[in-house]
Amino acid sequence: MRTSLKRAAAAVLAVVLATSLCGCDRGSLMTVDGMEIRNGVYISLMQSAYNNAETELKEQQETSDTTSDTSAGETSSTESKESVPITKEEIDGKSGSQWIKDETMKAVRRFVAVQRKCDELGIALSETEMNELNTNVNGVWDNANDYVKYIYGYETLGEYYESQGIGKESYKEIQRVSELQSKLFMHYYDKGGELEVKESEINDYLKENYASVKLLNIAYTDASGKTLEKDEDKKAVKDKAQALVDRLNKGDDPVDVFYDYNLEKAEESAKAKAETDYKEDNEDKLTKEEWIKKQVEAAGIKKAESADDLDQFISKESSSLNDEKLTEYIFNAKSDGKATLFEAEKAVYVVVKEDITKKTKWKE
């Protein structure tokens, strides 16, 4: 990993040197719409374009791979092109070098346009926002960073940027314009903006792409963690899960239901462990009951402060759940807050799907 990142950094530096810059952040490289562009700003925008070129090339190659068959004995594109600099690859019909230069100039024009438009609209960073920005920049420049030291050999990220020809003032300019761009975006698209996105559009998007659920994963295992094989044992697990569903649908607070289940599970596990691990002559001189209680306390079972703390937000495109069928079940379920059961191969799930558009804190 370290070698590949160093190689990438060296490649970026090679691209930068190809622009005939001095390698230091003094003076400006060009003037766009009356605004001088510092060397360091240009270099930073070029580095971003270089990284985007890698992503673009990868997507281009993946698309190509899906439309053409590769014989079993043929060398993979990744292996055969590993040593080819990205500047010599072809991206969207251009050489990688030209693609990077063109994308850099687009970024430069955007950098200027954002500032000009903000000046026109009277959009600026407040004193508080500028103070916070300065604090963050100073931290980047002055604070030791173990990751940067391991990968690049520099004590701070600031030292690394300076080695690339990006000075502190250029970095600060880029961060300031990035904040202005966010403000400009919200000026147009936030509530009351000229291009305000309707609440109904936002809600439709959220309902299509995300789900809000409370989940309990009840595995088909015994108290010792061994997989259950007998149908009657699995039925006992399903019955326990159904009892939890019934409690939730009768109006019991999810906070209590989830806590009771997790506490009971910890107690059962501690009792099973006691059968093999508890010794009467233990150094703490604990009775078996006291030993079990200590194990339960060590499990750290805590009651949620509110039902909202139990929420999980699932993305349809990149679900955090391991079971694809569970994800599919969740997105097909009604968002009515009713508890249901989903039976998987290794577990049964208590699922409570709620209206994600009503999760105002997350939505905001």
Average pLDDT over residues 70-85: 54
The answer to whether 348 and 228 have CB atoms below 8 angstroms apart is no
**Confidence class of residue 64 from pLDDT cuts 50, 70 and 90?**
confident
The least confident of 242-256, 274-288, 324-338 is 274-288
- Classify the C-alpha dihedral 341-344-348-354 as positive or negative: negative
**Confidence class of residue 193 from pLDDT cuts 50, 70 and 90?**
very high
Between the ranges 19-28, 85-94, 172-181, 220-229, where is the mean pLDDT highest? Answer: 172-181
Alpha helices in the chain (DSSP H): 2-18, 39-67, 77-80, 96-121, 127-142, 146-152, 157-163, 168-189, 199-209, 231-249, 254-277, 288-298, 324-332, 360-363
For the cut 50, the answer to whether the pLDDT of residue 202 exceeds it is yes
By CB atoms closer than 10 A (0-12, 13-18, 19+), residue 179 is middle
pLDDT of res. 77:
45
Q: Which residue has the higher pLDDT, 241 or 10?
A: 241
Cα within 13 Å of Cα(175), Cβ side: 18
Average per-residue pLDDT for the chain: 89
pLDDT of res. 323:
87
The least confident of 21-25, 123-127, 220-224, 304-308 is 21-25
The least confident of 275-284, 322-331, 354-363 is 275-284
**Confidence class of residue 261 from pLDDT cuts 50, 70 and 90?**
very high
pLDDT of res. 62:
84
The answer to whether 152 and 160 have CB atoms below 8 angstroms apart is yes
Q: Which residue has the higher pLDDT, 77 or 252?
A: 252
For the cut 60, the answer to whether the pLDDT of residue 17 exceeds it is no
**Confidence class of residue 10 from pLDDT cuts 50, 70 and 90?**
very low
pLDDT of res. 131:
97
The least confident of 18-27, 89-98, 156-165, 247-256 is 18-27
pLDDT of res. 71:
47
pLDDT of res. 19:
44
The reported pTM is 0.66
**Confidence class of residue 82 from pLDDT cuts 50, 70 and 90?**
low
Distances in Å between the alpha carbon of 277 and those of 141, 288, 298? 53, 10, 15
pLDDT digits (tens, 9 = 90+) for 152-190: 999 999 999 999 999 999 999 999 999 999 999 999 999
For the cut 90, the answer to whether the pLDDT of residue 106 exceeds it is yes
**Confidence class of residue 289 from pLDDT cuts 50, 70 and 90?**
very high
For the cut 50, the answer to whether the pLDDT of residue 283 exceeds it is yes
3-state helix/strand/coil string of 22-60: CCCCCCEEEEECCEEEEHHHHHHHHHHHHHHHHHHHHHH
Average pLDDT over residues 118-145: 96
Distance (Å, rounded) from C-alpha 256 to C-alpha 306? 10
For the cut 80, the answer to whether the pLDDT of residue 295 exceeds it is yes
